[in-house]
Amino acid sequence: MFSLSINKEVASFKFVADGGSNRLYDAFKHDQKILEQYIPDEIRGDMDSIRPDVRAYYESKSVTITKVSEQDSTDFMKCVSLLHEKEASQGQIYDIVATPALGGRFDQTIANINILYMMKDQIERRFILVSDENLTMLLDKGKHQIHCQSALEGPTCGIMPIGSPATITTKGLKWDMADSKCEFGGMISTSNAVDSEVIEIVTDAPVVWTIEINLK
Q: Which residues of 12-27 are buried (b: 16+ CB within 10 A; e: fewer)?
A: bbbbbbbbbbbebbee
Dihedral angle, C-alpha 13, 18, 22, 24, nearest 10 °: -20
Whether residue 60 sits in one domain with residue 45: yes
Rounded (10°) CA dihedral 151, 147, 122, 64: 20
What would the mean pLDDT of 41-69 be, rounded to a whole number?
96
Q: Check which CATH number belongs to the domain holding 206 and give it.
A: 2.60.120.320
Range of the domain at 21: 1-132
Lowest mean pLDDT among 17-21, 71-75, 85-89: 71-75
96/151 same-domain check: no
Q: Which DSSP state fits 141?
A: S
Of 104, 132, 160, the residue that ends a domain is: 132
Report the mean per-residue pLDDT for the chain.
Answer: 92
Please tell me the chain's helix, strand, coil percentages from 3-state DSSP, rounded to the nearest 5: 25, 30, 45
Residues 101-156 have pLDDT tens digits of 888 889 999 999 999 999 999 988 999 999 889 999 999 999 999 999 888 999 99
Shared domain check, 115 and 62: yes
Q: Are 93 and 87 in contact (CB under 8 A)?
A: yes
Whether residues 13 and 117 share a domain: the answer is: yes
Residue 137 near residue 183, CB atoms below 8 Å: no
* Same domain membership, residue 215 and residue 128: no
Structural domains of the chain, count: 2
- pLDDT at residue 9, rounded to an integer: 56
